[in-house]
Structures are given as structure tokens and as C-alpha cells.
Chains A and B, each alone.
Chain A
Amino acid sequence: MGWISDVLRAIVGTIIIFSAVAFIAVMFGVLLERKISAWMQSRLGPKHVGPQGLLQTLADTIKLLQKENIVPARADKVIFASAVIVVPLAALLDYVVIPFGTTRSGPLIFRDLNIGVLYFAATSSLVVVGILMAGWGSNNKYALLGGMRSAAQMVTYEIPMGLALVTVALVAGSLSTVTIVNGQARLWYIVTQPVAFLVFLVAATAEVNRVPFDLVEAESELVAGYFSEYSGMRFALFQLGEYGEMFAMAAMAVTLFLGGWRGPVLPPVVWFVVKLYALIFVFMWVRWTYPRFRIDQMLNFSWKILIPVSVLNLVVTAFFAVVAHR
């Protein structure tokens, strides 16, 4: 039974990802965020724990683990607790189809699903459910409002993202991420599909609720949005989910548009990480540069600009794909 080993591999792989992402990507990501924001605001950022504050996030994590798990008195306890699982789980599931690089035995990927891109869209859409559950389960009006905003935003921006994904899949002729990366051997798709890249980047920013789409957790309006009531390790898990999702989006952008692991001289994994962090930097740059959207602006932007543009892009691409096949 070959597929048992597949299942085992997937389970083990997810665990590895879990720890890897949790410990390296997310922690480093949080630190990076703080450092970059500090740099942009002419501050120093965390500096005291470890060399140059490198261990600051670790210390924070330890602190969070020690903290009490507060559950609001009239909260829906089952929902409140299970939302914490859904959000990071959905984020981590994204990584199954992301090719990190190549080894001698083949691409470094957990499962090269033939529906890879679809899988990515599906799992990333699961986050909404967790956010809605968290918002509702907290029995807190800020949390509920944040959850509703988030759901509206993510459902809305899933559509242009999906259209961008479809456009790339159309160009590559496959939904498999490895095939898509291989298709960029000569030319990155960012060159042929700049519109799709921009649409994807904007939609991804909205999907992970980052500035300028952070009205879900707009501090001045909603405290912390859907995870206002969460504390301790549960808060940490939400952060893990958020950053995990952001990294996943960046990784997918790299895979779809920036040629994945491809690059000269350096080993593939290194190239992948370099590109990934370049995009992460862009996300953070944007975060500390732009003001927040209003909710109607946010919705209008997707429905009236992004979706028409991406549909048009898809149609034009499809036309050229057909013409090219003739």
C-alpha cells in the first residue's frame, strides 16, 4: 500500500512544517516586522533579548505560554476553543503544495497535487470559518464586528485571487505548482502576467488582513478585532495563523510569479527563501506606508476594480492562450 506511506509522509510533513514554520518563519517574521517597522520609524526595535534582540520572539512565546487562558464568562466555549485550531490549521495546510526547492530526487514539496493551486485556494478560504467562529464565540461586539468584517473581506478578495490563480494556471496549462514553476524556466510569469501578479498581491494582502486592509483588527475601532478576547497561547496561535498565512501567500506568489526556486548559482532553496523574504519585506513596507481603507472603499475596490480587471486579464490571457495553441 504505497499510499499509507503517503499519508504518513503528509502527517509527518505537516508536523515538520508546523514546527518549522512556527519556530523559524513566524517567529523570525514577527521579529522582522518589529525590526522593519522600527527601522522605518527611525527606532531601534527589540534589542535586549539575545544578540540584537534575536531571541525576543522566543521570549514572548514563553511568556505567552505561561499566561492564563481567559475565557469570557458568556462566551460559547466550544466555538471559542475550536476557532483557535481552525485558523492556524488552515494556514499550515497551505504549505502542502508549496515547492520550496529541488533536490536530486525531485522537487522539495510535500505533495505535488495535480490540483495544487485549487487546493491552495480551498485551504486558504477555510481561515474565514475560524475567524467567524472566533468573532462569534467571544460574545463581544468588537470581536463579532471584526469577524464579520473579516469574513466579508476575505470572501470578497478570494474572487480576484482565485481569478489570478486561474490565469496563471491557464498560462502554465496545469494546476500543479511544480509544473507552474517548471513553466517559468525561461521567463517568470511576473513578466507575462504583471496584472495578475498585482491583483494577487493586493488580494493576498487583504486575505491576511494586513494594512491597508486591516480594518478587521483596526485597533482604534475594534480593539483587536476577532481575537480581542483571546489571551495566552490562544493569542499566540492566532498570531501563528496570521503570519503563517502571510508566509504562505508570499510563498505562493513566489511560486506563481517569481519562478519559485529557480535562480542561478545559489542552491534552489536559498533562492526560494530570498524571494520569499523579499515579498515579505514588500508586505511589511506596505504595512508601514499606507493608511487604512474604509469598509466601503475596501468592498468597492474589490468588486468594482479588482474583479473586473482580473476577469479582463483572464479573458485576454485565454484569448492569447487559444491563439498560441493554434
Chain B
Amino acid sequence: MTGEAIAFYILAAVTLGSAVVVVTSGNIVHSAAALVPGFLGVTGLYILLNAEFVAGIQVLIYAGAITVLILFAIMLTEGGTGLGGRQRNEQALVGATVAAAMAVLLIIVATRTGWTAGGGTLPPYTPGAIGQSFLRQNILVFEGTSIVLLVSLMGAIMTARRED
């Protein structure tokens, strides 16, 4: 057990444990709160994968913004109680079976497939390099994403504002 392995298992446990809480908790606010450690665990995995910039963005966007947004939505809709009755629909059992089957299958596929390790050395994934890549090779995706952002911004405002 190297230190990296220890860190990995801890982070994986944190992530998956939080995710279980998110999925199973009967209290929607608990679910939302559990998202934070879950996202932070994923952040840790990113750092282990040398993706520091992605990790920073993950914290900023997911943990800092999306979670807050979700908490906001919960508090604006449930009147702050978070306990609005039955949380699970009638297909819970089938859903659990399918999800479990999905997990098993994905793991089988992931472990059975002989992944070819790519050659080359790990470049430093600096913000500069990522920015260069965005503005050179991936400029179209970048611009497309900007447009989607703009549209969703307007869409969200138009949808959520009161009609008066």
C-alpha cells in the first residue's frame, strides 16, 4: 500500500459514501449537503490524476456554485422543510436492480477490457497549457460552450422570473 493507494481508497470511499447518502437520504437537504464531500472527493481523485486545474474548477463550480444553487432551489421550493413526504417512486426496486446490474456490467467491462496504455510522458497540465489547448485545438468547442452558457443564462432568467 503506497501513499497514493491509501489516498485513492480514502477519496473513493468519501466520494462513494457521500454519493450513497445523496441517493438514499430521505431528507433532501441532507442529500444536497452530502454532495459537497462527494464533489470534494472527486476533486481529490482529479488531483491524484494530475488534473489540478480541473480540480480547482470542480471545487469552484460544483462544490461552490452548483451545490449552493441546489440548496437554494430546495429552500425556495420546499418552504425550508425538506421533508415533503415520499421521496421514492414505485419503481424503486426495479431501478435498484437495473442500477446494480449496470454497475456490475460496467465493472466487468472495465476490468475485462485490456486498456492500452498510451505512450508519452505526462505533460504539466498547467492552466496555461489548458488555455492554449482551448484556444488553439478546441476553439470551436470553446466558442460553442460560450454560446450554450449565454443561452442557458438567458433561459434561466426568463424561466425563473416572475411574470408581472
Contacts and interface: CB of A to CB of B under 8 A. Distances in A.
A–B interface present (Cβ within 8 A): yes
A115 B2 contact: no
Sort chain A's interface into a size bin.
20 to 34
Given A79-B30, A115-B127, A175-B127, A132 B4 contact: no
Contacts of B33: 78-79, 82, 129, 133
Interface string B97-135: 000000000000000000000000000101110000000
Contact of B63 (A113, A115, A126, A133): A126
A155 B52 CA distance: 23
A119 interface: yes
A125 B75 contact: no
B29 A76 contact: yes
B57 interface: yes
A144 interface: yes
Given A76-B29, A132-B71, A86 B36 contact: yes
A128 interface: yes
Contact of A118 (B4, B30, B56, B68): B56
A136 B52 CA distance: 32
Interface string A277-316: 0000000000000000000000000000000000000000
Best-surrounded residue of B2, B55, B68 (most CB of chain A within 10 A): B68
A114 B126 contact: yes
A206 interface: no
B80 interface: yes
Contacts of A4: 3
Nearest to B61: A122
Contacts of B27: 76
Interface in B30-60: 30, 33, 36, 52-53, 55-57, 59-60
Contacts of B55: 115
B3 A1 contact: yes
Contact of A151 (B3, B56, B57, B71): B71
Interface string A75-97: 01011001000100000000000
Contacts of A78: 30, 33
A158 interface: yes
A118 B47 CA distance: 14
B16 to A, nearest CB: 19
A126 B59 contact: yes
Given A4-B3, A79-B33, A125-B64, A118 B53 contact: yes
Nearest to A141: B80
A86 B56 CA distance: 18
Best-surrounded residue of A78, A132, A173 (most CB of chain B within 10 A): A132
B65 interface: yes
Interface string A104-137: 0000000001110011011101101100110010
Interface of A: 1, 3-4, 7, 76, 78-79, 82, 86, 113-115, 118-119, 121-123, 125-126, 128-129, 132-133, 136, 144, 148, 151, 155, 158, 173-175
Interface of B: 2-4, 7, 27, 29-30, 33, 36, 52-53, 55-57, 59-60, 63-65, 67-68, 71-72, 75, 80, 82, 124, 126-128
29 contacts: A1-B2, A3-B3, A4-B3, A7-B3, A76-B30, A78-B30, A86-B36, A113-B52, A114-B52, A114-B127, A115-B52, A122-B57, A122-B60, A125-B60, A125-B64, A129-B36, A129-B63, A132-B68, A132-B75, A133-B71, A136-B29, A136-B71, A136-B82, A144-B75, A151-B68, A155-B65, A155-B68, A173-B128, A174-B128
Given A4-B3, A7-B3, 12 more contacts: A1-B2, A1-B3, A3-B4, A76-B29, A79-B30, A118-B57, A122-B60, A125-B63, A126-B63, A129-B71, A132-B75, A133-B71
